[in-house]
Amino acid sequence: MSETIRLIRFDSIGGASGDMLLAGMLGLGVALPDIESNLSKLNIGRISLKLEKATDRGISGNRLTVITEHSHAHRHIEDIEKILTSSQISPDVTRMTMSIFRKLAEAEAKIHGTTPDKIHFHEVGAADSIADIVGTCIAICKLNINAVHISPLPIGQGFITCEHGILPVPVPATVELLKNMQIIPTDEPNEMVTPTAAAVLSFMNDEFKCEQKNNFKIIDSSWSIGHKKLSTRTNALRVTLMEYADSAISDQSLVLETNIDDMSPQMFGVLTARLFENGALDVFTTPVFMKKQRPAILLTVICPFEKKESMLDIIFCETTTFGVREYVVNRTTLQRKVITIDTRFGPIRIKIGEWRGRIVTKTPEYEDCVQAAVKNQVTFKMVHEEAIKSFESK
């Protein structure tokens, strides 16, 4: 029995907003009452969802309106965390939601020259935006999504007025969040991708990004219609659910290599970190002997083909090498998924690897174990062993 990849694809025709993302996923079979009952656990006032059919320039789809008791509130990241941790929302939804809000806080902090904890969310901190984000994370879990593909996002131009005054479109937070994602500039004089949608899509791209395969099977498709009337196109988003069954994934990657014999060992730590941050699949060093028996380091970088130029930029700028070798390798990887389990030290994510329908490896996430060990004042080893034990007893 093979593991099924359940992929959701977002095709943005006229941009994306938080309500459009959730509306599109509701059209894939997620029950509206399930979302509403989970949102009621947030204890931020009554939240109801109004889902109706709408048509824009000949495209028919779901239009979602979030109705709340309190339309606006200024909240900090710690307020969002308190709302989630004091609720009965599942650990997976809590983790995803917090990751999205942290992305938002980090983007805003960078723009305003401060720290994420000092950022207070305006529109995004309101109950309706919280509902959009939490609802979308709930839908991801309900649909068992473990892969995402996002087509290039169209962005508008011009200016908008907000609490910070007049800002260019797309607004600074959206630009920051969409770094490393594909966009299509348009002549539409409106904001097309909101900061909420940018944060959610950026998170999905980091968490679930999947290389497209030719043999995915379409399971369902849905359209969502936004509330904005655009000048040049329909304000629509298509969301498609697809499946692909396999117990292993085969692909090709690029290997970059260079021998270095005249660089301080201290510099390799920074180099390795930068390569990983910019998309390297693996980076490692091997002691070697060069001509005249000089000891040296063989630097090896494995990366996707599309990351070649950024990898070369880093290698040439951060090392003393004069040249880099490259060649293509085939890779076979286990089918992977990440689940969250509850332990006596708190929730811990575990990466599962399957081969031909059976679990062959399970690895607790390092950062989760470190945080739990610090929080509970126990050893990393205790948390790691407890996570494995809790998983095996499920």
Residue 206, Cβ neighbours under 10 Å: how many?
A: 13
Encode burial over 74-103: b for 16+ CB neighbours within 10 A, e otherwise: ebbbebbbebbeebebbbbbbbbbbbbbbb
Cβ partners under 8 Å of residue 348, min gap 6: 340, 341, 364, 365, 368, 369, 372, 383, 386, 387, 390
Q: In the structure encoding, which two tokens stand for residue 320, read together?
A: 């003393």
Which domains, and CATH codes, for the chain?
4-245 (no CATH), 249-323 (3.30.70.1380), 334-392 (3.10.20.300)
Structure tokens at 174: 């959206």
At 144, give phi and psi (nearest 5°): 55, 45
CA distances from 234 to 27, 225, 284 (A): 18, 8, 48
Q: Cis omega (within 30 of 0) on the bond before 287?
A: no
Q: What's the confidence (pLDDT) of residue 72?
A: 57
Is residue 336 classed exposed, middle or buried when 0-12, 13-18 and 19+ CB atoms within 10 A define those classes? middle
Taking residue 239's Cβ as centre, other Cβ atoms within 10 Å add up to 26
- Joined together, the tokens standing for residue 69 give 């008791």
The whole-chain average pLDDT of the chain stands at: 91
Structure tokens at 46: 């009554």
Lookup: tokens for 19:
């309500």
Per-residue pLDDT tens over the stretch 197-243:
999 999 999 998 876 555 688 999 999 999 999 999 999 999 999 98
The model scores a pTM over 0.85:
no
SS3 102: helix
DSSP-based three-state secondary structure for 225: strand
Q: Note the pLDDT of residue 249.
A: 63
Output DSSP code: residue 124: G
Rounded to an integer, what is the distance from CA 354 to the centroid of its chain?
22
* Share of the chain residues as helix, strand and coil, in percent rounded to the nearest 5: 35, 35, 30
Cα dihedral angle (124, 126, 131, 132), rounded to 10 degrees?
A: -30
Burial of residue 353 (CB within 10 Å: 0-12, 13-18, 19+) is middle
Helix (H, G, I), strand (E, B) or coil at 117: helix
Q: How would you list the strands of the sheet with 59-68, edge to edge? A: 47-56, 59-68, 217-225, 236-245, 4-12, 147-150
| Phi, then psi, of 373 in degrees rounded to 5 | -65, -45
58: three-class secondary structure by DSSP = coil
Sign of CA dihedral 292, 297, 298, 299: negative
pLDDT of residue 252: 85
Low-confidence ranges of the chain (pLDDT < 70): 1-3, 70-73, 122-125, 211-215, 245-250, 356
Q: For residue 229, what pLDDT is reported?
A: 94
Kind plus residue range of the DSSP H or E element containing 147: strand 147-150
**Mind listing the pLDDT tens digit for each residue in 43-84?**
888 899 999 999 999 999 999 999 987 655 678 889 999 999
pLDDT of residue 117: 86
CB of 166 closer than 8 Å to CB of 159: yes
